[in-house]
Amino acid sequence: MSNIMVTFYSHIVNFILALQLQISKPQMTHLLTFIHGIILTDGRINVSQIRRSTNEIRDLSCMTRFLNESPWCPNRVTRRRLQFVINKIKRSRTKAGDSRPIVFFIIDDTQCKKERSTKRMEGLDNHFSHSDGKTIWSHCVVTAHVVSENNSFAWDFRSYFREPYCLEEGTSFKSKNDLAIELINSYPVSDDELVYVLVDSWYTSKKLIESCYQKGFHLIGGLRTNRKIYPIGTGIKISEFASTYLESTDLRPVTVDGHTYKIYTYEGNLSDTEYAKVLLSWENKFDSNKTPFCLLCTDSSLNLVTILSYYNVRWNIETGYRYFKELLGFDEYQLLSHKGIERFWCIEFLTYNYLEYQRQEWQQELPLTIGDVVRRIRKDHLGQFVVYAYEQALSKKPLMDVLKDLKLAV
């Protein structure tokens, strides 16, 4: 068994080599170390723990220099990774034999929370966290996730900086919607795909809808109730219309995934959108005193059940965030340079895509989650060490040589 087979899990090596990243051998070794370490580390994940989990003999400074200074191109790595994702989805589609399959392109943002005492880390600012319900000291990242057939791949990310921070740093400001549009534009148009962009109410804007329209994509997004609709020719806020004019007889019951909703459908113009289908929904029963959950859909051909079912796919990105943070340590870095942090995120996305690819390969045997894949790799890796040690003992190889091969020698 070769040293690299002892050091790195063979499936990871094969996956990375197949991407043809065009990086040097030392850079490849560092990249494999990070991916392997991110998966193997149980608990807090940072560069020190990654080094410890992989029994890396290089100094810690070598690993941090790989992130902060080494002349490898994360954009090229990302391009190769995204091409792999597209090819994987198309291969799955060919097997399924669909005439015009559906792709869901999901956009959201997340915060990487840091302690208030952390001041030297670049890019930190006060960002509002939806999950915390308050402003937190953090990095903010706008990300995209692609779902098609049984594939669920993390797509790409953009760092978000608040306008005051951009002014202070002398850089151009881009809103979250601007970054979302960049991500939408990064997905290639294909005549044999029907693409639905899924967003929450923070991203449903005229600008984003027009960008989707230009790409030939449809949008299904949450809608704030202060938006105006024109049900009787005069503009009125959704919240006012729901509380003043709607009655239970105006709504129809719809059941999706075991949940029953009472829904009113409006089709027509909005204050900033020429035409769309808008759903006002209440779970279980209508209550004029409660704010409805609202959805906007630019594909008027879809029925209510389909729109709600499609929008539920958006939870794939929420599940992805949970795996990123709880399993892969996406927010546990301790790097000071934002360049190094973004390179770390680049590797995190590469790691996530590998795990999803491996999940697809292995779940032919039984249904699996990303967590199941991580646990299996950890178990297989430990078994690999045991088998290697056993084989070397049978060949009477000196113990110190075996420990050196396993990178366990002091």
Distance, CA of 380 to CA of 5 (rounded, Å):
12
Question: Does residue 408 have a pLDDT over 80?
Answer: no
**265 lies in some domain:** no
Distance, CA of 184 to CA of 208 (rounded, Å):
9
Query: Average pLDDT, whole number, for the chain?
Result: 89
**187 lies in some domain:** no
**303 lies in some domain:** no
311: how many CB neighbours lie within 10 A of its CB?
A: 22
Number of domains in the chain: 1
Between 40 and 95, residue with greater pLDDT: 40
Distance, CA of 149 to CA of 101 (rounded, Å):
8
- The H or E element spanning position 60 is helix 60-68
**368 lies in some domain:** yes
**pLDDT, mean of residues 271-293:** 89
Beta bridge mates, 278: 266, 296
Between 197 and 41, residue with greater pLDDT: 197
Q: How confident is the model at residue 3 (pLDDT cuts 50, 70, 90)?
A: very low
pTM over 0.95: no
**11 lies in some domain:** yes
Distance, CA of 338 to CA of 68 (rounded, Å):
9
Question: Does residue 92 have a pLDDT over 60?
Answer: yes
**230 lies in some domain:** no
Distance, CA of 73 to CA of 61 (rounded, Å):
20
Beta bridge mates, 111: 140
Question: Does residue 405 have a pLDDT over 70?
Answer: no
Between 351 and 362, residue with greater pLDDT: 351
**39 lies in some domain:** yes
**253 lies in some domain:** no
Question: Does residue 233 have a pLDDT over 60?
Answer: yes
- The H or E element spanning position 140 is strand 134-148
Q: Which of 168-182, 225-239, 366-380 has the highest average model confidence (pLDDT)?
A: 168-182
Q: Which domain holds residue 347?
A: 3-73+336-405
pLDDT computed for residue 1 by the predictor: 38
Residues 6+ apart with CB under 8 A from 340: 64, 67, 68
